[in-house]
Chains A and B, each alone.
Chain A
């Protein structure tokens, strides 16, 4: 009975307590956010294959993978000027050692006194005396002779070089020189310099020599006329697959300019090298200048229509990343000895020049049309002669070589919208083996570093914003060196930002370096 009362009391107490527990009611306001439609649209910025490395572009061109086989691809250019002193027929110049199978020599000369000098005094040839010494030579010993030179050396496998010395006897106009099989003559360029026994300036034209490969094992050297002994120093440079070469021979006579069609080239990385032989002696007669007029045309010009120059030309489209500057420079003052041509800044340790000029005058006041050329600093191309008195117009080219894997990929704006783009590294594997790795954007006018790894660690993981305006294209390049073998991967987002908003697109680009 007592138990029953206790239970009843407890129930009552519990009832009272529960009445005091507050009941939580909520007041909620419901808002709605409706996104309609969220659509798929064709990409306005796309990725396209590069021409270096292996690039894989995935569906819709919005992601890509770049594979690079890391090899040495640097260049080294040594340059200078020199003089063969009066009383001497040669000069030796020490250089930093080069690999002779990977290096060639360009020579220009300009005489040495303000007076006529015959062939044997003014014409200077050059060759490697050894891997660390150059030998510049002429036939005569009277008066000084000035010259300038570039030693262009590939630090990787970009070129293979054969070189040699061949002499035309005074009765010969053609020399066929056996060479080691080059395999593919369409990848070869023949660079020449020469010296002559001429003693009266009447036979300069006979010292102008052309060089061409008639087969994979034969170098043909030719000149017009006999009567002097001409010694030719030749370099056969075989470029690798990244370089495209066109060659041919064009007759330059009564048409000024003479126009020669070529297959389309990329002007930004293409330069013209030429040798020629001349049928008639005289300043204007032997002086022909050449230039690349447009992507499908080269031109030649003389200040005369007398005689013929047979121009052996090589149009050399270098690998992506090589930058060629070119221009035309008037020398309307007959008294000029020096011309300084401003150029855009270059790295002189991997830059050389090649210039041709015409000349007024039909007489024998040589070496007025002969100028040396050299880069005196990163922004100046210096031309100089020692005997003034005629005008010369110059077509100059400055070729800056590249040690990067340029153009591994390109980014194309398919709309007129202006975008800002940059790379952001978000993942990686085995970057510890990367000694120095730079991924950067570039176009015709600028370079913008995006990602930088130094000694295996990120120094820069996000790039600066770059403008992608109109229907422009931006190229992607990689410069890399490694400590050891292996495979490294850098995964990045290409961030494509709509200006004046914070709306962007992320496109995945993976860089794989083996």
Chain B
């Protein structure tokens, strides 16, 4: 009888122990151990852009206006005669001010307006006015169209040529807006 009571007590103790162990395990599993590390960026400086848009031969004709720091350009007076191709051989330039070459990509981003009246707009990057074409021509209106990645040598100025042809039936009230993106790789 006595042995029977001891056996029951032992079982109870075992159950309590297992319960305690389980509790510990549960607590251990749900608790987070956080280690705090710190990243300090200082200084984050504004530095001159290594590659910039610059004015060239046809910038005035194209109505080019370079934004502060040369990272934006607005061309606000480009036009074309219906059924004739207007070529701005150097609407704007891209200059590498760095002492090392840079990888750049000029790409079509978006357009809007009377796009159905456009026969074509093609943008070509050349190493000089009327010079060697760099990369592929950009077909405005074609998603993803770009020059491909180009390597502009240190100190070089390339020109961006615009070829614009309106359809024969275009009216003087027709216009489009075009946005290109220039990606300059690296710091």
Question: For the complex, is A171 an interface residue (Cβ under 8 Å from B)?
Answer: no
Complex Cα gap A408–B109 (Å): 45
Bound complex: CA A241 to CA B133 (Å)? 51
Picked from B114, B117, B182, B187, the residue with its CB within 8 Å of the CB of A32 is B182
Q: Is B85 interfacial (CB 8 A cutoff)? A: yes
- CB of A26 within 8 A of chain B? yes
B5 at the interface (CB under 8 A from A): no
Q: Which of A26, A38, A62, A502 interacts with B130 by CB under 8 Å?
A: A502
A444 on the B face (CB < 8 A): no
Chain A nearest CB, measured from B174 CB (Å) = 4
B41: min CB distance to chain A, Å? 14
Main secondary structure of the interface of B (DSSP, over half): strand
Stretch in B9-17, B30-38, B159-167 touching the partner: B159-167
Is B175 an interface position by the 8 A CB rule?
Answer: yes
> Is the Cβ of A507 less than 8 Å from the Cβ of B84?
yes
Q: What 1/0 flags go to B37-53 for Cβ under 8 Å of A?
A: 00000000000010101
A41 vs B57: C-alpha distance when bound (angstroms): 22
Asked if A43 lies at the interface with its beta carbon under 8 angstroms from chain B, I say yes
Chain A, Cβ-Cβ closest to B180: A33
Residue of A nearest to B187 (CB): A27
Given A30-B182, A31-B53, A33-B92: A62 and B79 interface contact (C-beta under 8 Å) = no
Is the beta-carbon distance between A62 and B83 smaller than 8 angstroms?
yes
A28–B176 Cα distance when bound, in Å, is 28
Q: Is the interface of A mostly helix, strand, loop or mixed?
A: strand
Give bound CA distance, A456 to B47, whole Å. Answer: 61
Q: How large is the interface on A (under 10, 10 to 19, 20 to 34, 35 or more residues)?
A: 20 to 34
Question: B181 touching A30 by the CB < 8 A rule?
Answer: yes
Known: A41-B79, A505-B85. A36 touches B178 (CB 8 A): yes
List the B side residues contacting A503 at CB < 8 Å.
58, 61-62, 86-89
A40-B174, A503-B87 given; A32·B185 CB < 8 A: no
**A36-B178, A37-B113, A42-B172 given; A62·B86 CB < 8 A:** no
B144-187 residues with Cβ-Cβ distance < 8 A to A are 160, 162, 164, 166, 168-187
B174 touches A502 (CB 8 A): no
Contact present for B179 and A34 (CB under 8 Å) = yes
B136 contacts A by Cβ under 8 Å: no
Known: A34-B177, A502-B89, A505-B85. Is A40-B183 also a contact (CB below 8 A)?
no
- Is A39 a contact of B174 with CB atoms below 8 Å? yes
**Whole-angstrom distance between the alpha carbons of A40 and B89 in the complex?**
18
B89 touches A32 (CB 8 A): no
B132 CB to closest chain A CB (Å) equals: 15
Q: Which residues of A contact B89 (CB under 8 A)?
A: 502-504
Specify which chain B residues have a CB less than 8 angstroms from the CB of A37 in the assembled complex. Answer: 76, 78, 113, 175-177
Given A37-B113, A38-B164, A38-B175, are A32 and B181 neighbors across the interface (CB < 8 Å)?
yes
Query: Which listed residue (A29, A41, A58, A508) contacts B80, Cβ 8 A?
Result: A41
A231 CA to B164 CA, complexed, in Å: 72
User: For the complex, is A35 an interface residue (Cβ under 8 Å from B)?
Assistant: yes
Contact (Cβ within 8 A) B86 A505: yes
With known contacts A40-B117, A502-B130, A32–B84 Cβ distance under 8 A: no
Is the CB–CB distance between A59 and B61 below 8 Å?
Answer: no
Measured in the bound complex, the distance between the Cα atoms of B84 and A58 in whole Å is 11
Chain A: CB-nearest residue to B182: A31
A76, B87: Cα distance in complex, Å: 45
- List residues of chain A with CB within 8 A of the CB of B61: 498, 501, 503
A28 touches B184 (CB 8 A): yes
Contacts of A501 in B (CB 8 A): 57-58, 60-61
Is A115 at the interface (CB under 8 A from chain B)? Answer: no
The docked-state distance in angstroms from the alpha carbon of A504 to that of B86 is 6
* Contact pick for B53, options A33, A35, A38, A63, CB 8 Å: A33
Chain B contacts with A in 80-110, Cβ cutoff 8 A: 80-92, 106, 109
Measured in the bound complex, the distance between the Cα atoms of B180 and A30 in whole Å is 10
The docked-state distance in angstroms from the alpha carbon of A29 to that of B104 is: 9
Cross-chain contact A40 with B82 (CB below 8 angstroms): yes
Chain A residues within an 8 Å CB radius of B117: 40
Residues in B with CB closer than 8 Å to A26 are 185
Chain A CB within 8 A of B139 CB: no
A69 within 8 A of B: no
- In the complex, how many angstroms separate the beta carbon of B40 from the nearest chain A beta carbon? 19
Q: Specify which of A36, A38, A59, A501 lies most central, judged by the most chain B CB atoms within 10 Å of its CB.
A: A38
* Contact A34 B74, CB 8 Å, known A40-B174, A502-B130: yes
B172:A39 contact, CB within 8 angstroms: yes
A44 CB-CB contact with B under 8 Å: yes
B121 within 8 A of A: yes
Interface residues of B in 116-140 (CB under 8 A from A): 117, 121, 129-130
Q: Given A501-B60, A506-B85, A35–B175 Cβ distance below 8 Å?
A: no
B182 touches A63 (CB 8 A): no
19 contacts between A and B (CB under 8 A): A28-B184, A29-B71, A30-B184, A33-B180, A34-B75, A36-B177, A37-B76, A37-B175, A38-B75, A38-B80, A39-B174, A40-B79, A40-B173, A41-B79, A43-B81, A62-B81, A501-B61, A503-B61, A505-B86
* Residues in chain B within 8 A of chain A (CB atoms): 49, 51, 53, 57-58, 60-62, 71-76, 78-92, 106, 109, 113-114, 117, 121, 129-130, 160, 162, 164, 166, 168-187
With A35-B75, A38-B178, A505-B85 known, 6 other A-B pairs at CB within 8 A are A30-B181, A33-B73, A37-B78, A40-B173, A59-B168, A505-B81
Chain A residues proximal to chain B, CB less than 8 Å: 26-44, 58-60, 62-63, 496, 498, 501-508
3 closest A-B pairs by beta carbon, nearest first, are A37-B175, A43-B81, A36-B177
